[in-house]
Amino acid sequence: MNKPDVIEKFLKYVKVDTQSDPDSGTSPSTMKQHDLAKILRDELIGIGASDVYYDEEHCYVYASIPSNIDDGKKRYKMGFVAHMDTSDEVSGKDVNPRIVDNYEGSDICLSKDGKVVLSPKDFPELLNHIGEDLIVTDGTTLLGADDKAGVSEIMTMAETLLSNPEIKHGEIKIAFTPDEEIGEGTAYFDIERFGADFAYTVDGGKLGELEYENFNAAGGTVKVHGRSVHPGDAKNKMINAALICYEFHSMLPVFQNPMYTEKREGFFHLTGVNGGTENAEATYIIRDHDEKLFEEKKKLFKEAADYLNKKYGEGTVEVNVKDQYFNMIEKIRPHMHLVDNVKKVMEELGVTPIDSPIRGGTDGASLSYKGLPCPNLCTGGYNYHGKYEYASIQEMRKVVDILLGIVKVYGEDF
């Protein structure tokens, strides 16, 4: 079988800067995401994919791999989706990946000055990769495995299928999206053009992860309007907006914080705060897997502002809470074959399936609520969104095998 190397593609894609920007107000949020979109378009055309379409305005790439089974039986059109952008939290420019061959379990010095070290003391899961080959950063940027690992794996699957017609399969749909990292990955996703009955996002982490539950999510902003008076004459006159902003935060449950939560536990996460005496503003993300607890968190957020307005005067504190996405499990339950078949494929390949609730969201959550049920699959990447990000070469290659296995399963008639 002619099988291209997923790592070659990955090392090429991570060098393309595709960092998204939550503050741009455009779609895509950064024009540089088009650079990778064009590369993927050209590669899809080059390997013989059909219906290749590049949305030049909004930066989506779509393609099809026609069925090579002509027996008149009905088969699902299966889709695979990955996002092209990288997080805005750490630079994705001038990524300089390197490969650590046969990792032995010791510290990995990432930066030239020796100050950025990937250590099992801080990241004990590294010890699970002893004997594997790891792709790491140079300590100055993120790696981009989120989600260029997924992009690479889908592209490798596509090229493998198109260069090996003896692998029988139904019609396969492929899409690459922008702006997933800022929650806008499906804003202009054309489900009709995509044309799949069901799909998988390839945007997870540890090998074996199979995710079909995710947070219910909202974003919250707090704006405080204070009154600045000279501190020497401020008694009973000054209203310190920064201190009230701090007081607001102190009213939220201390241990409902990402630093203290795991699994299905929700949280309030303070993502930014700035201001002074006259004005201050804080931004939050609010998360919970449980719908009831999610609604209670949003209610508490607003009640804290009501209390402070009674204390300091109406209009002192303004809050805005906006829903972002919802738990996809409600849309997956009627189609559990999407989960069961992946587990079957993984087990046949010697991979232990891991039912893992997503402590975040994926394009798949939004797509599921738009009518395209879409669980999330692993990629073999770790420590996303930072300088300590890495990927396992062996795991990435195994993910390609999992994608090919899924394709073969859905090549059967239903």
The pair phi, psi for residue 166, each rounded to 5°, is: -70, -15
Residue 174: strand pairing partners: 63, 80
Q: What is the pLDDT of residue 72?
A: 83
User: Which of 251, 240, 340, 249 is CA-nearest to residue 280?
Assistant: 240
Catalytic-residue membership of 180: yes
Report d(CA 301, CA 295) in Å as an integer: 10
> What is the reported pTM?
0.87
Residue 260 to residue 236: CA distance in whole angstroms: 38
CA dihedral of residues 148, 151, 152, 158 (deg, nearest 10): 180
| pLDDT score for 320 | 97
Under a CB-based contact definition with an 8 Å cutoff, are residues 85 and 180 in contact?
yes
CATH classification number, 6-213+327-409, choose in 3.40.830.10, 3.40.630.10, 3.30.1110.20, 3.50.50.60: 3.40.630.10
Give CA separation, 135 vs 64, 198, 223, 380, 394, in Å. Answer: 30, 32, 42, 11, 10
Read off the tokens for 324: 């972002």
The pLDDT of residue 413: 62
CB atoms within 10 A of CB 330: 12
- All residue ranges of the chain with pLDDT < 70 are 413-414
- What fold, for 216-325? Alpha-Beta Plaits (3.30.70)
CATH 3.40.630.10 residue window(s) in the chain: 6-213+327-409
Question: Active-site residue among 180, 209, 288, 395?
Answer: 180
3-state secondary structure (DSSP) of residue 217: strand
Q: Collect all residues with Cβ–Cβ distance below 8 Å to 413 and sequence separation of at least 6.
A: 71, 73, 74, 75
The pair of structure tokens assigned to 213 is 């539950």
Show the CA angle centred on residue 212, arms to residues 210 and 213, nearest 5°.
Answer: 120
H/E stretch holding 411 reads none
Rounded Cα distance between 69 and 172, Å, is: 12
Tens digit of each residue's pLDDT (9 = 90 or more) over 295-320: 999 999 999 999 999 999 999 999 99
Q: What is the pLDDT of residues 203-258, one digit of tens each?
A: 999 999 999 999 999 999 999 999 999 999 999 999 999 999 999 999 999 999 99
Q: Which residues are annotated as a binding site for Zn(2+)?
A: 83, 146, 181, 203, 385
Q: Annotate 10-39 with b (16+ C-beta within 10 A) or e (fewer).
A: bbebbbbbbbbbeeeeeebbbebbbebbeb
Where in the chain are all domains bearing CATH 3.30.70.360?
A: 216-325
Binding residues: 83, 146, 181, 203, 385
- 17, 85, 395, 401: the active-site residue: 85
